[in-house]
Amino acid sequence: MKIHGESAHSSGLTTPRLNIDDGGTHSGAWVSLRDPAVVDILAAEGFDWICIDGQHGGPETPDLQPLIEAAHLFGVPSIVRVPGHEAGTLGRILDAGAGGIIFPTVENADAAVALVAATRFPPRGKRSYGPTRRSPRYEKPAPGNRQDDVLCILMIETAEGLANLDAILATGPDAIFVGPYDLSLSLGMPLEELTAEGPGGILADIARRCSSAGVTPGIYTGEPELSEKMISLGFRFMPTASDTGLLAVAARATVAASRQPTAEKIPS
């Protein structure tokens, strides 16, 4: 679709896409800081995807486009967790080039239908066409081309959302993303108990139901050991690290090493 007055030139850059339907597992990095240099560092190390947290993280809507483009320059797909379900904010984030959207706190099929529609151009949805913010650096999405659809990822993080999971799955999202912290609070059980359950537990049941419905299951983990366990339960994409977590772990290790007794550091 041509926009009057747009440039006929392009940088030739393509928007990287995350294929969550390939049967593999995809390790991501979670970004809560608003400096694009943070995304540069993480994307350069080869994570499969970068999620920019616009709900609980530092980035505001005007910060998102430079963060998205920092990931794309390294060929790493971008996903944004949006602050809510408001259509105006969502449209600006989609126009900025996000390759996927994580919607928080989806609790029923009516909300799910509206959110899926908001990420799809007519006639399959209600997304407004106006991708001028990212032109001419990247090719614009083509309405009607399913290959240009962004990933619509719905968060299950409350008891109500869990109770309505099958109805939510029937609305046709690309993926479900479990928020275990809020889900454990809503269910009235410790986080450690929820994540410690095995193949017969709540999380494994969510993953099975998603897979049976043809919807890819994901979950927030934030560290490799828990990620491995969630993969064994059937989850297929998760952030295995976060920017703030990596910084804290590295700082803690450095401080601990610097406080070792001097005698232990002097070779005999």
The catalytic residue among 4, 9, 26, 56 is 56
Per the document, the length of the chain is 268
Residue 75: what are its φ and ψ, rounded to 5°? Answer: 75, 20
Sign of CA dihedral 15, 155, 240, 52: positive
- Neighbour count for residue 8 (Cβ, 10 Å): 6
Please answer whether residues 129 and 121 qualify as being in contact, where contact means their C-beta atoms are separated by less than 8 angstroms. Answer: yes
* 9 belongs to the catalytic site: no
In terms of Cα–Cα distance, which of 155, 168, 50, 156 is closest to 108? 168
Enter the tokens of residue 144.
Answer: 């009607």
Position 121, amino acid: F
Residue 87 to residue 69: CA distance in whole angstroms: 22
Q: How far is CA 214 from the centre of its chain?
A: 19
Q: Where are the alpha helices (DSSP H) in 126-190?
A: 159-163, 165-169, 180-187
Please answer whether residues 41 and 73 qualify as being in contact, where contact means their C-beta atoms are separated by less than 8 angstroms. Answer: no
Active-site positions read 56
